[in-house]
Amino acid sequence: MERLPIEIVTYILETAAYMLRATDRGAVVNLALTSSFSYSTVAPILYERVVIADVNYAAFSVLLANGPLAAKVLQYTRFICVPPNREEVLFSAAHLFPNVSAVYGSQSVWEDIVAAQAQSSVAIVNDLRAWYIGFKARACQPNLSIVTRLHTFFPCSSKDRRGLPRDIAEQIQHILEVLPSLTHLGFSHVNPESPIENAESKDLEIYDTVMRTVVASKESRLQVVALRITGWAATCLEAFVRIARDIDEAGSMLEVRIWVDSREITTWQTEVDAMVEDSRKERSIWTEAQALSYYVPDVTT
């Protein structure tokens, strides 16, 4: 295994410690800090989750500005979560990833990162907006063409809602283009904020946009679309029944599954806590999502 510079490994381990401080893996983190700094030491710690928080985003900007090194690190990371800070500047590409355009604009670096991502949970997109998009994928070989399952995570803020359905549609189209073997697509839209005007109709528009974009794709091999539903949306199952029926009437063979996540997610921190809990219990959208008939018995779709 190739060794990392001690500064970079320290950054990584600090983040691992941030996520794992409440678990028995804390001893592993401490051991790694005092032992040899190699991938064989770091990999078991990074395998679960990494959080980029306001206490360490500067360190990660250094790491991610180095494309080849970032690709090697991402190879051992199944999910990266970037919760916003109060000012929401943490999501800014210019603030968090000062060299992201130059780095990801390099074809050689792009190939390095793409090769790593098929084994990781992170897919890099060209446009890092003020809201974070995380892609969770699993595969056996470093080649995106064999990725068959992907869980997309779209948290957003009220400041960026107007164009969100359009932007999500563009990202879904991009996913279907770069993952030609994708058969299972999971989607989570999380908005743990105080109620805002027309929030419910906007959120339903987002779910509807995802489904219609998938159905409209002529090249897609998708068989299953799974939706994680949180908060108020859990009380609006009839809306998802309508979406599923629309898909059926359009002649699509897609199977629609939903995961009604009843946990009280009221802040970004509780959403991160939910991710950690899911990781510990090996819970995912694929283990939890059920056919619509599970929640609404009279649904035949």
pLDDT tens for 86-104 read 333 333 333 333 333 343 4
pTM: 0.57
Mean pLDDT, the chain, whole residue set? 58
Identify the pLDDT of residue 36.
39
Identify the pLDDT of residue 265.
73
Supply 133's token pair: 């998009």
Lookup result for tokens 């919760």: 83
Distance in angstroms (rounded) separating the CA atoms of residues 36 and 33: 8
Position 122: which residue type? V
Residues 81 and 181 in one domain: no
Identify the pLDDT of residue 59.
56
Residues 89 and 172 in one domain: no
What is the 3-state secondary structure of 207-269? HHHHHHHHHHCCCCCCCEEEEEEEHHHHHCHHHHHHHHHHHHHCCCCCEEEEEEECCCCCCHH
Residues 46 and 156 in one domain: no
Residues 14 and 114 in one domain: yes
Q: Does the residue 135 lie in any domain?
A: no
Residues 6+ away with beta carbon under 8 Å from 191: 155, 156, 157, 158, 199, 203, 231
pLDDT band at 139 (very low <50, low <70, confident <90, very high): very low
Residues 100 and 168 in one domain: no
Supply 299's token pair: 């649904």
Residues 38 and 156 in one domain: no
Beta carbons within 10 angstroms of residue 92's beta carbon: 15
Tell me which of 7-21, 26-40, 177-191 is least confident.
26-40
Q: Does the residue 273 lie in any domain?
A: yes
Residues 85 and 225 in one domain: no
Q: Does the residue 140 lie in any domain?
A: no
Domain extent, residue 35, equals: 1-119
Strands 290-291 and 255-261: antiparallel
The total number of structural domains in the chain stands at 2
pLDDT band at 276 (very low <50, low <70, confident <90, very high): low
Mean pLDDT for 202-210 is: 73
Identify the pLDDT of residue 195.
46
Q: Does the residue 124 lie in any domain?
A: no
Mean pLDDT for 55-84 is: 53
| Nearest residue to 189 (alpha-carbon basis) of 207, 166, 214 | 207
Position 242: which residue type? R
Q: Does the residue 111 lie in any domain?
A: yes
Identify the pLDDT of residue 15.
56
Identify the pLDDT of residue 120.
38
User: Per residue in 158-195, pLDDT tens?
Assistant: 445 556 677 677 767 767 776 777 788 888 766 555 44
Position 295: which residue type? Y
Contact assessment for residue 24 and residue 59, using Cβ atoms and an 8 Å cutoff: no
Burial of 140 (0-12, 13-18, 19+ CB in 10 A): exposed
Q: Does the residue 296 lie in any domain?
A: yes
State CA 108 to chain mean position distance: 24
Residue 74: in which H helix or E strand, if any? helix 67-74
Phi, psi (5° rounding) for residue 270?
-70, -30
Residues 72 and 179 in one domain: no
Q: Does the residue 58 lie in any domain?
A: yes
Mean pLDDT for 106-132 is: 36
Residues 195 and 60 in one domain: no
Higher pLDDT among residues 15 and 173, named by residue: 173
Cα distance between the two ends of the chain: 50
